[in-house]
Structure 1
Amino acid sequence: MGEKRMAKYTPMIQQYLEIKARYADAFLFFRLGDFYELFFEDAIKASRELEITLTGRDGGVAEKIPMCGVPHHSADTYISRLIE
């Protein structure tokens, strides 16, 4: 992703995208408070596979960024379901 496009996002989303670029073929569970959140295509795929709610989050651009999340204390259960 280009620097100009990246600069449009909030610092948190920029950090997410930088990490995601290094691990493009994996789901990125990003810890925010008491939840692990997934964004963009990861959120769309994970919400479908895990049957959890897909929502949106402001990220510094006009459209909402697709997002879903799971409580940190049950993340292992959800991750196991994705691996199966």
Structure 2
Amino acid sequence: MSKSAVSPMMQQYLGIKAQHTDKLVFYRMGDFYELFLDDAVEAAKLLDITLTTRGQMDGVPIKMAGVPFHAAEQYLARLVKLGKSVAICEQVGEVGAGKGPVERKVVRIVTPGTLTDSALLEDKETNRIVAVSPDKNTSVWRGHRCKAANSKPS
């Protein structure tokens, strides 16, 4: 696929996606998080959301799906429960501040293995995280564990 054959916004998306190939990318556009190409197809299937198209790349319609930003947490929770990881890309620049698309950056990555966000944890579920590291002075490995509390009453 030729980056020059797409809009500057899609070029920006493709650059971000290239850095997060193993994650679904929630790409903020105004009041929505959009997903494109294969991410859109997968998210539409998993979340039962509409799959549509926007523009073209190399003469082929670009697949797109999206969720309202105010409902994103519920969709993230569903994706994580299905074992998916998500990179959340926000608009960090000012809209209309210059030529080209507004600046965007991945500001958060949500994965099933590192989930500690109380909005995404199940009420009665205890999530634990474990780290293992070698002791610098001996050949002993040390394990560390902790509970990720959801701060909700049981």
Q: TM-score, normalised by structure 1?
A: 0.91
Answering whether residue 68 of structure 2 is matched by residue 81 of structure 1, we say no
- Distance in 2 of aligned mates of 1:57 and 1:77: 25
Cα separation, partners in 2 of 1:65 and 1:56, compared to 1, 3 Å: same
Q: Distance in 2 between matches of 1:38 and 1:49?
A: 13
Aligned partner of 1:56 among 39, 43, 53: 53
What is the TM-score with the length of structure 2 in the denominator? 0.51
**Offset at 1:62?**
2.1
Cα RMSD, aligned residues only: 1.2
Within a 5 Å distance, the mapping from 1:4-83 to structure 2 comes to 5-59=2-56, 61-83=58-80
Specify every segment of 5 or more residues in structure 1 that has no aligned partner in the other structure, as ranges: none
* Unmatched tracts of structure 2, length 5 or more: 82-154
Larger helix proportion of the pair: 1
- CA shift, 1:57, in A, is 0.4
- State the aligned residue count: 81
Q: What secondary structure is seen at the aligned counterpart in 1 of 2:60? A: coil
Secondary structure of 1:24 counterpart: coil
Q: CA contact under 8 A between 1:52 and 1:68: conserved in structure 2?
A: yes
If you compute each CA radius of gyration, which structure gives the higher value, 1 or 2?
Answer: 2
Question: Structure 1 or 2: larger strand share?
Answer: 2
After superposition, the C-alpha distances for 1:29-60 in whole angstroms (9 at most, x for unaligned) are 00001000000000000000000000000145
